[in-house]
Amino acid sequence: MIVIVTAIFTTCHVGSYNSNPYDHTKWYSVAIIDSSNLINQEVKVDQPSNTYINTVVNKKESSNPFFEEFWKAYPRKTNKGFARKVFEKLKVDDAMLTKMIQAIYVQNKNVWKDKDQQYIPHPSTWLNGERWDDEVVAKPMSASDREKARIFG
């Protein structure tokens, strides 16, 4: 690909040239470079860098299948990116994931059952607090729930 370049380039230099260490004033200088000598000259342009695009695509592709399983099981879907970072930091294996999902099931059934979504902890908070190790006390069954359990087994 051949491009004809006609432009004036500017660069900006920033520095802190203060003798007082408490003075945080930034000093700026602007340099203008005239590219008139480049007018109507052919310049070869390489393909643009795809670094950012590749890292974003690869980040999505390299998603941890354990995290996706955790995300499906967790009842509050908030701030997935931060939860993924915390999950990756924990280096979760298969046994730990099984323990987490069982704890989510028990907590969802006993602790979060009648609560609004806003009172269920964010997934990152749950992970940071290692809440899968929490001791959950089952709520006593009401008389009607006991009767239903007796009838339906």
Query: Residues 134, 140, 145, 151: is their CA dihedral positive or negative?
Result: positive
Give the C-alpha distances (Å, rounded to integers) separating 61 from 36, 54, 56.
Answer: 46, 10, 9
User: Do 10 and 81 sit in the same domain of this protein?
Assistant: no
User: Do 39 and 107 sit in the same domain of this protein?
Assistant: no
User: Do 33 and 75 sit in the same domain of this protein?
Assistant: no
User: Do 20 and 72 sit in the same domain of this protein?
Assistant: no
Tell me the pLDDT tens digit for each residue of 79-88: 999 999 999 9
What is the tally of structural domains in the chain? 2
Tokens of 1: 């690909």
What is the secondary structure of 44-74 as a DSSP string?
Answer: E-PPPP-HHHHHHHHHHHT--HHHHHHHHH-
User: Do 73 and 132 sit in the same domain of this protein?
Assistant: yes
Tell me the pLDDT tens digit for each residue of 48-107: 555 554 455 445 545 788 999 999 999 999 899 999 999 999 989 999 999 999 999 988
In a domain, 53, yes or no: no
In a domain, 102, yes or no: yes
In a domain, 69, yes or no: yes
User: Do 25 and 75 sit in the same domain of this protein?
Assistant: no
User: Residue 116 belongs to what domain range?
Assistant: 63-152
Q: Is the pTM of this model over 0.85?
A: no
Q: Give the residue carrying structure tokens 């380039």.
A: 9
